Amino acid sequence: MESAFLFTTQVYTNKQILGYLNAKRNIYRIAGREMMLRKILMNQTQATGKKIENSKYRYLYFYPTYYCTPETNQFLQKADNYIAKTRFDTSIRNHFIDRDFQANFTREKYQSVDTFLIDENLEPEKDRTFKLSYPENQPLTFYFMAMPPSKGNTDTESWVMPSWLAFAFAMILDVKTVVSKSSIPPFNDSSEFEETLFLDTAPQTFRSLVRGDRFRLDYILEGWQENGKQYPAPLNILTAAYAIHLDVNAKVGKGGYDVNWGKLTELAKDFETSPLYVFSYLNKWVRNQNVETARIEKIQLYTYYFYPCFDPNVRYNREKDKLEIMGKESSLNHPQKLTELYRKLSRTNKKYNPQTNAVLKPLDFAKDVILNNDPSFQNETLVNNVAAKIYKLMDRVHASTAEGRWIFKKREEERMAIWEFSEDFVKDVFSETFAGDRARLAGRQINLIRHTCEFLYPLENDKENKKIITK
């Protein structure tokens, strides 16, 4: 009986007047069209009605734009017929990230990804997508494709590849794209909506990652500005977020390799909170690998390539091999300045792969002083107490009874550098950024700064080591 119904009974039927004696409820006209589409889908997939209703198919619509030529239309039809990749996996990630951990998120790189997505020799029985057959050499107002549910068949997983494809194909082809839960086309042609891309009823996970659901063509790789705030490029966000997820959250269990896309929701929430979570996820990767720290190439990948995808106020300068902060709004301001200030005081004994405790010792000392002092102490009093604690630490470094190498020969110059670091930590970080809230100093927010400084420090060490080698 179940296989006789294309979807749950009486969901898409007409409404009845209260007290009406005729119990027969005819099918709603729009639902009748959907029944035909679902019947085609059932015939192709050999699935029963209940499975069709419960499966998480996501529908991808391509709308040729005004400037789409007949040749482009033919290419679009071939792309629709032969698209084979239905999951974002390591092969797509490796297209953007090479073996030397150098990432490339340029327009040209996205436009060449079609070699991984399209298989011209695709056999019909191996095609996991659901498509309609279109007449050849006849221009159409839109093309339609149903992306199959992933292994986990959850709402989040079902949107992973369709969302990314919608952004990517908007760059590869001269089309507008729509992703929807509905098998009924939301628009008849491209003239019915202004934007280039529309995520129709996408989960909050994706809307929080890409900062919206409607995007113009120039937004996709350049970002945009709204109400005085700069937003990053959504396609780069998805590519970087997926790559980080595959690094950190994917796992191998008894059932084999598990991409674990359910964890993407937590990742999206974190990146919406602060882009500094990029370094927290790198720290998590280090712990998962059971190593002391990440190799310098891995740190460069996360710092120079992944982080700017989430912070629009930062860009990587390849010639100078450094991150350039474009405005005060960047979350990287405080960690970078703190790292520069306490690197003036001392260096770790290990020039390569320094231990985390040694790298973060001045930062942890400053934090502990504030947390252990009387809550009534403010500003100058806290600065003095933090400076005194770090000065005692430097006494032990000079006496070789504590980890580190001192920099200043003149203790007065060192004392001024200690005061500068203490003042920045107390006034700019604790008083201004954390609003004097000790709970925030003891929680996740200080850990974001710690994890960032943990990886900025070895980057500076690496530059210093390279200068020594070249000399």
Residue 52: pLDDT band by 50, 70, 90 thresholds? low
Residue 416: pLDDT band by 50, 70, 90 thresholds? very high
Q: Please give the pLDDT value at position 357.
A: 85
Look at 14-23, 83-92, 420-429 and tell me which has the smallest mean pLDDT.
Answer: 14-23
In this predicted model, what pLDDT tens digit does every residue of 290-312 receive, in sequence order?
988 899 999 999 999 999 999 99
Alpha helices in 311-443 (DSSP H): 333-343, 356-372, 379-398, 411-423, 438-441
Closest alpha carbon to 64 in 52, 75, 50? 75
Q: Helix or strand or coil: residue 449?
A: helix
Q: pTM score, two decimals?
A: 0.86
The chain-wide mean pLDDT, for the chain, equals 84
In this predicted model, what pLDDT tens digit does every residue of 90-147 receive, in sequence order?
889 999 999 999 999 999 999 888 766 776 677 766 667 776 666 666 666 677 888 8
As a whole-number percent, the residues of the chain with pLDDT over 90 amount to 45
In this predicted model, what pLDDT tens digit does every residue of 188-238 receive, in sequence order?
888 889 999 999 989 999 999 999 999 999 999 999 999 889 999 999 999
Q: Please give the pLDDT value at position 3.
A: 43
**CA gyration radius, the chain:** 28
123 to each of 57, 84, 145, 321, how far by Cα in Å?
Answer: 21, 10, 17, 47
With 0-12 / 13-18 / 19 or more C-beta atoms within 10 angstroms meaning exposed / middle / buried, residue 273 is middle
pLDDT at residue 283 greater than cutoff 60: yes
Cβ contacts of 362 within 8 Å, gap of 6 or more: 342, 345, 346, 390, 393, 421
